A and B are shown apart, each in its own frame.
Chain A
Amino acid sequence: MKAYISLVSSLSRVLGVIAILLVAGAALVVCQMVFVRYVLNGSTVWQTEFVIYALVAATFLGSPFVLLEGGHVNVDLLPNAMPRPVRLVMNVVAGLVGLAFAALLAWSGWIYFEEAWTNGWTTDTVWAPPLWIPLAPLPLGIGVLCLQYVAEILRPFAGNGRKEAIL
């Protein structure tokens, strides 16, 4: 169980690093776009879409890392006011709810991705990249989010009670 938790957590960290690089890249591309548009008076083709999809990708790929770090904001007043066994039950139930939603979203995202892939859909802009590329981070990132959720639910029972409150 400990091996699973640490393996999945490392995977989430790797995706987190990719997500951080995407955010930084998006900021730089916005500057390049502004420079081309307003200083050189040129026109931009791919920048707007790239920035949008980079940040959407960062959101999906970064979400397991943010779960690991306890960053998905919640209201923990009631659980914290409860005795430990009750709190543990609440954490597990809350974790299962999160896991259920993440699983549905990952599955539905996979269907959407697969449709875009098999039908060769592109985005409806001049640049028109294949739609499956920006869609891929949805099933991938949210899929890992599911794995991380399982890890977070298991964590209090793995003899490491340190992070039990973050579910």
Chain B
Amino acid sequence: MTPLAIGALVLLALIALLAIGTPIAFALGFVSIVTLMVVEGTGSLSILGETFFGGLASFSLVSIPMFILMGAAVASSPAGKDLYLALDRWLNRVPGGLVLSNLGACSIFAALSGSSPATCAAIGKMGIPEMTSRGYPKEIAAGSIAAGGTLGILIPPSVTMIVYGIATETSIGRLFLAGILPGAMLTGLFMAWTLYSCRRRGIGLSDVTERFTMRERFEVLPKVIPFLLIIAGILYVLYGGVATPSEAAGVGAVFCIVLVMVIYRLWKARPLWAVLRDTLKESVMIMMIIGASELFSFTLSSMFITQSIAAWIADLDVNRWVLMGVINLFLLVAGFFLPPVAVILMTAPILLPIITQAGFDPYWFAVVLTINMEIGLITPPVGLNLYVINGIAPDIRLSQILRGSLPYVLCMVLGIVLLCVFPEIATWLPKTMMG
């Protein structure tokens, strides 16, 4: 059997196992080890434990549980609410200020949590009722938060970007930098669309604002500024070349827990334990997928499947933009069904040689891939953010949330097109700052 035929069989088996509901980590691991044993004999079983263990025992992976811990600590506190209140009080004179505050709060919270559903929940709990009570249509309230929440995986620090960096052996610091401007661009696009659609529906934006005194404006700052300083601190430490992402993440996590304890007086053992338990659940889930995908990519490359696919695509000699279009479509479909981390771990080792061979920048591709994954978070059938919104705002129907998020999907597609035309949006910052 040729490597390509084996590859096709592996893919089919994997899809079948995932479809019946096998956890992603175990389906990946099972397909890999069975393939190895069938093709190379049962002796290959001995490398299973070593490969799995070796795949996990690396210092750069330490940043994953640490950033998850940091996000869980912030998400468990009312920090999202305060961030949102602060922005609202300062932006209330701007037309459409409330929606802008929500989207702004989403992008700042994204920088603290690195997780899309957490961002969605933290800002939406307060933001959606506030928007609907001040007369914004339900679709816009729900859609803007669903879309704003997806920024969590693009704006650094992002667990998704770390996973990409590990799967492709690219620099995590550079990846973070590459995400900043596209994150700002998407935030801008989301804001522009929201203002336009409010105006089109004839919502007088100045009617739906409230007045705040300067006193009220300054009151909220002490609760928000420490978290902003942590973000600034992490970015400084990473790009000043002071410490590694894992070190920055560990210190950031402990700082965030201390801040949450001091500012919000969360002394009790129970909420702190809940933060740690949520961290464990999320990081074990991701780490098991990482270990299994280590095995998966080892299997694919030791059978020359990865290499054969790359060679086959090179032989096709298609236009590189057609190739990019097909890859995007494929990622989009995968993102409809699978969580971002799983898509990246399964596809990055196969796609990266193809991408670089066609002359694309791996950091630029990370951004395009991540925006694709963001789209998957707000589209059915497994759009995680849609269900988060459905959970925190039960009075808004799923169909309304969907209708509200659709325009933002188009904003993201536009974002990808802009990135293709002007790749500098992603590549300029890393090049300028890191050479």
Chain A proximity of B247: nearest CB distance (Å): 5
Chain A proximity of B67: nearest CB distance (Å): 11
Q: Is B66's CB within 8 Å of the partner chain A?
A: yes
Query: Is there contact, CB below 8 Å, between B62 and A109?
Result: no
Q: Is B195's CB within 8 Å of the partner chain A?
A: no
Which residues of chain B are within 8 angstroms of A31 by Cβ–Cβ distance? 250-251, 254
CB nearest to A76 among chain B residues: B21
Provided the pairs A23-B276, A27-B253 are in contact, do residues A66 and B30 lie with their beta carbons within 8 angstroms? no
Q: Is B432's CB within 8 Å of the partner chain A?
A: no
CA distance A113 to B52 in the complex (A): 13
Which residues of chain A are within 8 angstroms of B27 by Cβ–Cβ distance? 97
Query: Is there contact, CB below 8 Å, between A69 and B21?
Result: no
Q: Is B114's CB within 8 Å of the partner chain A?
A: no
Which residues of chain B are within 8 angstroms of A107 by Cβ–Cβ distance? 45
Select one of A26, A72, A78, A105 contacting B19, CB under 8 A: A78
Provided the pairs A19-B280, A26-B250 are in contact, do residues A56 and B57 lie with their beta carbons within 8 angstroms? yes
Select one of B69, B243, B247 contacting A23, CB under 8 A: B69
Select one of B20, B49, B69 contacting A94, CB under 8 A: B20
Chain A proximity of B2: nearest CB distance (Å): 26
CB nearest to A165 among chain B residues: B21
**Which A residues, 86 to 118, have Cβ-Cβ distances below 8 Å to chain B?**
90-91, 93-94, 97-98, 100-102, 104-105, 107-113
**Which B residues, 214 to 255, have Cβ-Cβ distances below 8 Å to chain A?**
242-243, 246-247, 249-251, 253-254
**Which A residues, 106 to 164, have Cβ-Cβ distances below 8 Å to chain B?**
107-113, 134-135, 138-139
CB nearest to A24 among chain B residues: B276
Chain A proximity of B287: nearest CB distance (Å): 4
Select one of A20, A102, A167 contacting B21, CB under 8 A: A167
Chain B proximity of A34: nearest CB distance (Å): 5
Query: Is there contact, CB below 8 Å, between B26 and A97?
Result: yes
Query: Is there contact, CB below 8 Å, between A48 and B284?
Result: no
CA distance A109 to B29 in the complex (A): 14
Query: Is there contact, CB below 8 Å, between B21 and A135?
Result: no
Query: Is there contact, CB below 8 Å, between A75 and B49?
Result: no
Q: Is A52's CB within 8 Å of the partner chain B?
A: yes
Q: Is B33's CB within 8 Å of the partner chain A?
A: yes
CA distance A144 to B276 in the complex (A): 21
Query: Is there contact, CB below 8 Å, between B342 and A94?
Result: no
CA distance A104 to B12 in the complex (A): 22
**Which B residues, 319 to 378, have Cβ-Cβ distances below 8 Å to chain A?**
337-339, 342
Q: Is A55's CB within 8 Å of the partner chain B?
A: yes
Query: Is there contact, CB below 8 Å, between B20 and A93?
Result: yes
Number of A-B contacts (CB under 8 A): 183
Query: Is there contact, CB below 8 Å, between B284 and A62?
Result: yes
**Number of chain B interface residues as a range:** 35 or more
Q: Is B61's CB within 8 Å of the partner chain A?
A: yes
Chain A proximity of B333: nearest CB distance (Å): 13
Which residues of chain B are within 8 angstroms of A111 by Cβ–Cβ distance? 46, 49
Q: Is A45's CB within 8 Å of the partner chain B?
A: no
Residue among B18, B21, B65 with max Cβ neighbours from chain A (10 Å):
B21
Q: Is B281's CB within 8 Å of the partner chain A?
A: yes
Query: Is there contact, CB below 8 Å, between B382 and A108?
Result: no
Query: Is there contact, CB below 8 Å, between B59 and A51?
Result: yes
Select one of A19, A38, A51, A94 contacting B284, CB under 8 A: A19
Write out, one digit per residue, whether chain B residues 368-410 have a CB within 8 A of any chain A CB (1) or not (0): 0000000000000110000000000000000000000000000
Which residues of chain A are within 8 angstroms of B309 by Cβ–Cβ distance? none
Query: Is there contact, CB below 8 Å, between A100 and B50?
Result: no
CA distance A38 to B237 in the complex (A): 11
CB nearest to A66 among chain B residues: B284
Chain A proximity of B245: nearest CB distance (Å): 11
Query: Is there contact, CB below 8 Å, between B30 and A97?
Result: yes
Residue among A28, A52, A100, A108 with max Cβ neighbours from chain B (10 Å):
A108
Query: Is there contact, CB below 8 Å, between A74 and B21?
Result: yes
CB nearest to A56 among chain B residues: B56
Query: Is there contact, CB below 8 Å, between A104 and B45?
Result: yes
Which residues of chain A are within 8 angstroms of B19 by Cβ–Cβ distance? 75, 78
Query: Is there contact, CB below 8 Å, between A75 and B250?
Result: no
Q: Is B184's CB within 8 Å of the partner chain A?
A: no
Chain B proximity of A29: nearest CB distance (Å): 8
CA distance A31 to B47 in the complex (A): 34
Q: Is B53's CB within 8 Å of the partner chain A?
A: yes
A contact residues vs B (CB 8 Å cutoff): 16, 19-20, 23-24, 26-28, 30-31, 33-34, 38, 48, 51-53, 55-56, 58-59, 62-63, 65-67, 69, 71-79, 90-91, 93-94, 97-98, 100-102, 104-105, 107-113, 134-135, 138-139, 167
Nearest 10 pairs between A and B by C-beta? A30-B250, A72-B23, A109-B49, A108-B49, A108-B48, A98-B26, A94-B22, A112-B49, A101-B30, A59-B287
Given contacts A79-B20, A109-B48, 18 further A-B contacts (CB under 8 A): A31-B254, A48-B59, A51-B246, A56-B56, A56-B57, A58-B65, A65-B284, A73-B339, A73-B342, A75-B18, A79-B21, A94-B20, A97-B17, A98-B22, A98-B23, A100-B30, A101-B30, A108-B48
Question: Can you give 6 A-B contacts (C-beta < 8 A)?
Answer: A23-B69, A27-B66, A77-B337, A104-B48, A107-B45, A109-B53
